[in-house]
Amino acid sequence: MFSARSNEIAPFVVMQLLQRAREYENQGKTVMHFEVGEPDFQTAEPILAAAQSAIAAGHTKYTSAQGIPELRERISCYYQSLGVAVEPERILVTSGASGGLTLLSALLLDPDDELLITDPGYPCNDVFARLVGARPKAIKVHAKNRFQPTLDDFAAAWTENTRAALLASPGNPTGTMLAAGDLADMTVHATERQGFLILDEIYQGLNHGPVPYQTGLAVSDDLYILNSFSKFFGMTGWRLGWVVVPPQAIAPITKLAQNLFISPSTPAQYAALAAFDEDAMEIHLQRKEAFVQRAAVLSEGLQKLGFRIPVAPDGAFYLYVDISHTGMSSTEFCWRLIDEFQVAVTPGADFGGHHADHYVRFAYTTNIEAIGLGLERIEDALIAWGINA
């Protein structure tokens, strides 16, 4: 028998949908993909070149568990460019934000501690808590509050068993940011209750317009920050991210990192040094603009077809779309869309249970032409199913 913990984890519907999409592709059909949560762009050329040079120079051995000093220095300079001072010593390079989540769970949570998360939210959050025997507790977040918890929601959910909260800004699947005042108040609340606030900023940099803060660290220094090279920097498969922790947490998290990971990927770290160079940054910013344009096209097209997008995202590359007018549950809608029209989208059920039947997530990690074709197919679907816009 495998562990009870492994039995508790529910498989994602989207993985089954993706499997179905592959079957259609193997039959020679084209599938319009709106389910994938990673940039469609190849990693920027300067990063690829830096990786090749690093490998040629023999940078293939373990590094220190915290990551190479040059990269921690670069990340520190990046924060400086965002207007906050973060000493390199507070930065630990990780194996993606997923590695960071593993480390922060191990650092901050004891068995039976509660970790507050949001519903809807990033599905794996739940699993990181369970892995260390802690109990995830979902705060239901509402469209009327931009899918972020209010201070009242937060304070009401926090009990004597709560040890930490994990919030994302911008979040997945909704792309919304937590207001600066709320973030400040929640940090104070967590600290007063001898707890911790973890802020997932993995979509930092992919903002669609002016943002309330470039990083939560501009609002409070008492945060545990998660970030990654996966999204804005376009390096999903390199498995590299970082955390920023308060000074007192540096030694214990380093000890955990030494034991759990030894070090993050060495070639990836050397490649990531180039991610902050001017030429690479220019590419990241152009791509960010492409995401902004795609969001506009997709959102307009879907609304013309009668879909409701209750909250426009502040960033990331997702639209959380209300499909109530179809009269179907989101899971039925997603299966029929892939099976009958070969369009792949993710059902709300993959992000929690709160109103999940009414929502699907569209990722605009596909080009404008594909978005147009996808919208045409969705229109055909609605006509075929007798649903009026």
Ligand X SMILES: Cc1ncc(COP(=O)(O)O)c(C=O)c1O
Residue for token pair 């209010």: 150
As measured in angstroms, the least distance from the Cβ of 183 to ligand X is 16
Residue 257: both structure tokens together: 């990192």
Q: Is the Cβ of residue 170 or residue 195 nearer to ligand X in the bound state?
A: 170
97 binds ligand X (CB under 6 A): yes
As measured in angstroms, the least distance from the Cβ of 11 to ligand X is 16
Pick one of 88, 96, 313, 315: the residue that binds ligand X (CB under 6 A): 96
Considering only residues 217 through 256, tell me which ones interact with ligand X, judged by CB under 6 A.
Answer: 228, 230, 236, 241
As measured in angstroms, the least distance from the Cβ of 313 to ligand X is 13
Note whether 256 and 106 are within 8 A (CB): yes
Q: Is the Cβ of residue 326 or residue 352 nearer to ligand X in the bound state?
A: 352
As measured in angstroms, the least distance from the Cβ of 287 to ligand X is 16
As measured in angstroms, the least distance from the Cβ of 105 to ligand X is 13
As measured in angstroms, the least distance from the Cβ of 235 to ligand X is 9
* Nearest of 310, 219, 295, 230 to residue 268 by alpha carbon: 230
Residue 255: both structure tokens together: 């000890």
What is the widest separation between alpha-carbon atoms in the chain?
Answer: 62
The bridge status of strand 32-33 relative to strand 91-94 is unpaired
Considering only residues 4 through 43, tell me which ones interact with ligand X, judged by CB under 6 A.
Answer: 37
* Nearest of 293, 364, 355 to residue 322 by alpha carbon: 355
* Nearest of 48, 54, 70, 91 to residue 266 by alpha carbon: 54
Pick one of 18, 50, 168, 328: the residue that binds ligand X (CB under 6 A): 168
Note whether 21 and 334 are within 8 A (CB): no
As measured in angstroms, the least distance from the Cβ of 98 to ligand X is 3
Pick one of 169, 172, 176, 365: the residue that binds ligand X (CB under 6 A): 172
**Which of the stretches 91-99, 143-151, 287-295, 344-352 binds ligand X when contact is defined by CB under 6 A?**
91-99
Q: Is the Cβ of residue 205 or residue 241 nearer to ligand X in the bound state?
A: 241
Q: Is the Cβ of residue 33 or residue 378 nearer to ligand X in the bound state?
A: 33
Distances (CA, A) of 128 to 24, 150, 263: 33, 24, 20
**Which of the stretches 90-98, 103-111, 190-198, 206-214 binds ligand X when contact is defined by CB under 6 A?**
90-98
Residue for token pair 């939210």: 121
Q: What is the length of the chain?
A: 389
Residue for token pair 């990971």: 261
Note whether 276 and 71 are within 8 A (CB): no
Tell me the C-alpha distance between 187 and 171, whole Å. 17
Task: Count residues near ligand X (CB under 6 A).
Answer: 13
Pick one of 43, 66, 98, 346: the residue that binds ligand X (CB under 6 A): 98
174 binds ligand X (CB under 6 A): no
As measured in angstroms, the least distance from the Cβ of 37 to ligand X is 5
Considering only residues 192 through 221, tell me which ones interact with ligand X, judged by CB under 6 A.
Answer: 200, 202
**Which of the stretches 45-53, 93-101, 157-165, 188-196 binds ligand X when contact is defined by CB under 6 A?**
93-101
| Alpha-helical regions (H) of 230-352 | 250-261, 266-273, 278-304, 330-341
Helices 330-341 and 13-26, axial angle in degrees (round to 10)? 10
Tell me the C-alpha distance between 378 and 97, whole Å. 34
Residues at the interface with ligand X (CB under 6 A): 37, 96-98, 122, 168, 172, 200, 202, 228, 230, 236, 241
